[in-house]
Amino acid sequence: MKRLFDIIASGLGLLILSPLFLILAIWIKLDSNGPVFFRQIRVGRYNKDFKIFKFRSMYIGSDKGSLVTIGGRDPRITRSGYFIRKFKFDELPQLINVFIGDMSIVGPRPEVRHYVNYWTEKQLKVLNIRPGITDPASIKFRNENKLLEKAEDPEKYYIEVIMQEKIKLYLEYVKEHNFWYDIKLIFKTFWVIIKER
């Protein structure tokens, strides 16, 4: 049932949002050099790598430095990128990943291999299900950039504090998730995005 919902919801989402995708794509291309989409390797179900789709919100080559984004005014972010990130529009192309089966609408957020390498055997159980666009950790740490901005060592703080708390929430989701809980999280995600903008 979950996979069927993912296919229908992502397909309808891509169809309905196609005019917005076109507008954002044109803006991104006019704003800075580089592709419309940012493709990054993430770790998916059963510990297998896949390439995630996101609207590019940073200048080309920015991902070669730190993997964490710090604060709301990270100089690596383009002008269009500030707007796209503010409303979480950069995440919308992940509907493509959902449609083709790499991801689900709801599930633990997929990490890059660099951070998954820090996970314990118990924590790797997160990878027993498909990663998702939103989940309880995404809602709780929706202002993650601001937390990292205050940290003396953002990378260390992410690994030792934020990531550990995220994984706890991921494991709880893996254990307790069901269809109606997913629907509730989807609506909660929309509410949080609208309320805080």
The answer to whether the Cα torsion of 111, 117, 119, 120 is positive or negative is positive
Cβ–Cβ contacts within 10 Å for residue 183, how many? 13
Domain count, the chain: 1
**Neighbour-count burial for 29-60, b at 16+ CB within 10 Å, e otherwise:** eebeebeebbeeebbbbeeeebebbbbbbbbe
Q: pTM for the whole thing?
A: 0.90
Q: Which domain holds residue 39?
A: 2-195
The pLDDT value given to residue 197: 61
**CA 110 to centroid of chain Cα atoms:** 7
Region 109-114 average pLDDT? 96
Phi/psi at 180 (5° precision): -70, -30
135: closest CA among 164, 163, 110? 110
The larger pLDDT score, comparing residue 53 to residue 176, is at 53
Average pLDDT, the chain: 92
What's the pLDDT band for 66 if we cut at 50, 70, 90?
low
What's the pLDDT band for 166 if we cut at 50, 70, 90?
very high
CA–CA gap between residue 141 and residue 155 (Å, rounded)? 16
Q: For residue range 117-137, list pLDDT tens digits in order.
A: 999 999 999 999 999 999 999
Q: Specify whether the CB–CB gap between 126 and 174 falls below 8 A.
A: yes
